[in-house]
Structure 1
Amino acid sequence: MIHSPKFIAVLDACVLYPAPIRDLLLNLAYFDLYTPKWTDKIHEEWTRNLLLNRPELSAEQLQKTVDAMNTAFPDSNVGNYESIIMAVTLPDSDDCHVLAAAIRSSSEVIVTANIKDFPNEYLSKFDVEAQHPDYFISNLVDLNPEKALKAFQQQVSNLKKPPMSKVQVLENLKKVGLEVTSEKLLELI
């Protein structure tokens, strides 16, 4: 369900939580392959969970990441979606804010690893589709392999602590569930 070369997608907390997926999604957006959207609540959710599971990280470090995301994509933080939350129904009511943000921002896609929590039959009423990050990103690679490769190369060059090779980054992407994406990017390098 891609209607234009640069469409709008809400990034669920579960795809912002793993740094390899987050970094690739942000680099793809930087290279104008799509427009990312999120909310303060989505940021709060992924950073809270990351702090719980990664005690070596600090709230300050993650806030810097959130601030950098909001600075790099100043129109990506969706507001005024709260009134829509009560009007939508999902299997997990805690996810209604994500759909509400998608509706408010006219997003075509919700990028999420929790596909079962976003039934496309229901989402289609709002012209929204849930897509797994591997499906979403591999489609972006197919749509514009040159820009997708540049985005991937940018992700690799941004990694300094520790630096990683392209193959190492591809292995990390595979480990976090981006198997098809990893294979497609490997074919391009």
Structure 2
Amino acid sequence: MRFVVIYDACVLYPAPLRDLLIRLAMTDLFAARWTDQIQDEWSRSVLKNRPELSDKLPRTIELMNKAVPDVVVTGYEALIEGLTLPDPDDRHVLAAAIQSGAQLIVTFNLKDFPDSVLSGFGIEAVHPDDFVTQQFDLNEGKILAAVEKHRQSLRKPPKPVGEYLDTLAALGLVVTAERLRKFEDVL
């Protein structure tokens, strides 16, 4: 069975981070998962800041769900009520992780997923920067190829490598950006 990770809503918005994480999921190094509820959560955040995107978000969600095989977790809802987390609104994420057999929840909100709760389910919460660097350590070639494809896909406007890496750092992937700077010539 492949290593399974749940992407929390907070790592699916902003778009550059979401796109990179989807590209990484397409490497087959791990199986990424999310739920319709997670999709609803990040898309509501987008619409608060960018209401003009309301017509485009359904297509984005559809493309995301098609890009990663078997990505949508279902059947987790009955687990929610029995879970306790600092923020009750995050229980659905843990329930989806349990249902899908995930080992990791990729999130910026580490305090909302304490080890004392998650360890009982064999799950760990990890910051996206740590997650990407872990994947980089496991298969440098596949991660570099995915990052290169991601950067090359940015055409409106195109991003030079240095600017792209600055964007990753600004999104919280500081260590990842620094490690990738050593490979600027292939990105």
TM-score tier after normalising by the smaller chain length: over 0.9
- Among all aligned residue pairs of Structure 1 and Structure 2, give the percentage whose two residues are the same amino acid: 48
Aligned pairs (5 A) from 1:80-91: 80-91=75-86
Question: Runs of 4+ in structure 1 displaced over 6 angstroms?
Answer: none
Residue of structure 1 equivalent to 2:56: 61
Deviates more, 1:117-126 or 1:162-171: 162-171
Structure 2 CA distance for aligned equivalents of residues 88 and 81 of structure 1? 11
Residue of structure 2 equivalent to 1:144: 139
Q: What TM-score do you get using the length of structure 1 for normalisation?
A: 0.94
Residue of structure 1 equivalent to 2:10: 14
Residue of structure 2 equivalent to 1:24: 20
User: 2:112 matched to 1:117?
Assistant: yes
Residue of structure 1 equivalent to 2:155: 160
Structure 1 contact 153–166 (Cα < 8 Å) conserved? no
After superposition, the C-alpha distances for 1:39-98 in whole angstroms (9 at most, x for unaligned) are: 00000000011110123x412212111100111124010000000001110000000000
Structure 2 contact 24–143 (Cα < 8 Å) conserved? yes
Unaligned runs of 5+ in 1: none
Residue of structure 2 equivalent to 1:175: 170
- One-letter amino acid of the structure 2 residue matched with residue 40 of structure 1: D
Classify the secondary structure of the residue corresponding to 2:56. Answer: helix
Structure 2 contact 6–32 (Cα < 8 Å) conserved? yes
Q: What TM-score do you get using the length of structure 2 for normalisation?
A: 0.95
**How many residues end up aligned between the 2 structures?**
184
- One-letter amino acid of the structure 1 residue matched with residue 135 of structure 2: L
- One-letter amino acid of the structure 1 residue matched with residue 148 of structure 2: Q
Residue of structure 1 equivalent to 2:45: 49
- One-letter amino acid of the structure 2 residue matched with residue 52 of structure 1: K
Structure 2 CA distance for aligned equivalents of residues 32 and 68 of structure 1? 17
Unaligned runs of 5+ in 2: none
Structure 2 CA distance for aligned equivalents of residues 153 and 24 of structure 1? 10
